[in-house]
Amino acid sequence: MKLKIIVFSCLCTSFSFGQTLLERQAEKTREKIKQRAENRVEQQIDKGLDKAEEGIENSVKGEQKGKEKKQQTGSETIGTDEGVTSSPNVSSTPFKAYSMFDFVAGEKVIAYEDFSRDAIGDFPAKWNTNSGGEVVSLAPVEGHWMNIANSGICYPEFVNGLPENFTMEMDMVVSEDFSEMQSGLVLFFPELKSRNLQFDYHFSTCPQVGIDVHPHGQGGGSRIWVYDTSNEKVMSNESSLNTIWKTGQVNRISVWRQKTRLRVYVNERKVWDIPRAFQPTIVYSMLFGANIWEGKAYVSNLRWAEGAPDTRNKLVTEGKIVIRGILFDVNSDQIKPESYGALQDIAKTLNELPDVNVKIIGHTDADGDDKLNLELSKKRALAVKHILTKEFNISPDRMETDGKGESEPVDSNASPTGKANNRRVEFVKQ
């Protein structure tokens, strides 16, 4: 009997000890799980703090670097702060999307407007209007922008009669609440003598070409109309901007007149191609009109240029081509995708003249430090060579590169228009 009690007692003790051991192990496991969970939370917090600190540090560095570069380097768009890249920066340029973009800017810039000389809150000094508008900044988008008044007309007084071969380009942004009602931003090309503050936006039948760019939501649409010399509307049509307009981004509008023909592009897509939009006997000018129901429209980096592309003939007969339609990011050798048409044009010429070699020479305006501008111009020339080789299969052996910086201006650096003319790429026959 004693033996049974002892055995039973040992079993109870063993069970009790085993239970205690299990409880302790369970407790340890719970503590371990808790600790690991806390460690994960702390790691996530640390990561968040690291990112925040990194963002603040980069922001400060960016501001400091921007201030330094603004003092040191020539700019593609006045009043913006970006660094100079150290090697040809071509890999990230979305040229594939622009493969059907055949727009080629005019040879000589006749007017350029980025509102950099106008104070925030003011109406642009060299414009006129019957309604209003003001210069604003659009964070995080760089530069100064003109907020077009929602109702009325305005126009640049420095742009008068336009030549029969001209291009006009501009950047456009609209607010998220831009309404589909009424109109968007309208580009009018009226007869010069009718371009004044009495121009009737709604009912004028004077000779004109009108283009309404009206984004809303995830797309929107565009309208076009033409009045001829007899004050008759000879055409009117509509087109969709779905899949073309980039909501919440800067969009590029490009207009190209070649005598009677009009082509209009929104970003990389051709929206209109009208063979007989302009009358050959009329001198046209331009103005902006708006009848916006709700929301805001902004424009900047407007560029007017004249001349028809004659690349092949000039390279053969004059031995040099000057191209101002190859555009770069600010203080960078990154080529903008809207340069595709100009690059395609020179590539076509080089393919047609397989025995001709060229020297590609970059030029900048006079903003910033001479040495840095010289370095930047050489990098830009090299970037152009890389693109012509990579995208258009031009042999690199046919091209050498150089840069002149700001040392050979062809126009005054005292105005935005002059600076735009000085920023150029030359192809010199060898």
388: exposed, middle or buried (C-beta count within 10 Å: 0-12, 13-18, 19+)? buried
Spatial separation of the C-alpha atoms in residues 152 and 40, rounded to whole Å: 59
Residue 200: what pLDDT? 85
Residue 353: what pLDDT? 95
Indicate the residue among 278, 306, 334 that finishes a domain: 306
Indicate the residue among 306, 332, 349 that finishes a domain: 306
Q: What is the pTM assigned to this prediction?
A: 0.76
Answer whether residue 241 is part of any domain. yes
Give the contacts of 156 (CB within 8 A, at least 6 positions apart): 111, 113, 124, 126, 127, 286, 302
Residue 2: what pLDDT? 44
Spatial separation of the C-alpha atoms in residues 241 and 264, rounded to whole Å: 12
Residue 73: what pLDDT? 38
* Total tally of structural domains belonging to the chain: 2
Give the contacts of 124 (CB within 8 A, at least 6 positions apart): 113, 115, 118, 133, 135, 146, 156
Tens-binned pLDDT, residue by residue, of the chain (430 aa): 443 444 444 444 444 434 443 444 445 545 544 455 455 444 443 444 344 344 434 443 444 444 343 333 333 332 333 334 445 655 444 677 787 889 999 999 999 999 999 999 999 999 999 999 999 999 899 999 999 999 999 999 999 999 999 999 999 999 999 999 999 999 999 999 999 888 887 789 999 999 999 999 888 999 999 999 999 999 999 999 999 999 999 999 999 999 999 999 999 999 999 999 999 999 999 999 999 999 999 999 999 999 887 899 999 999 999 999 999 998 999 999 999 999 999 999 999 999 999 999 999 999 999 999 999 999 999 999 999 999 999 999 999 999 999 999 999 999 999 999 999 999 999 9
Residue 110 and residue 158 in contact, taking contact as beta carbons nearer than 8 Å: no
Indicate the residue among 306, 336, 357 that finishes a domain: 306
Looking at the fold, whether 377 and 341 belong to one and the same domain comes out as yes
Looking at the fold, whether 217 and 149 belong to one and the same domain comes out as yes
Residue 94: what pLDDT? 62
* Residue range of the domain that includes 356: 311-429
Domain with 151 in it: what CATH number? 2.60.120.560
Residue 88: what pLDDT? 61
Looking at the fold, whether 288 and 388 belong to one and the same domain comes out as no
Domain with 359 in it: what CATH number? 3.30.1330.60
Residue 119 and residue 135 in contact, taking contact as beta carbons nearer than 8 Å: yes
Residue 35: what pLDDT? 55
CA distances from 170 to 127, 145, 218, 235 (A): 16, 11, 21, 25
Looking at the fold, whether 117 and 143 belong to one and the same domain comes out as yes
Residue 140 and residue 257 in contact, taking contact as beta carbons nearer than 8 Å: no
Quick one: tokens of 366? 């006079």
Helices (H) and strands (E) counted in the chain, each on its own, are 5, 19
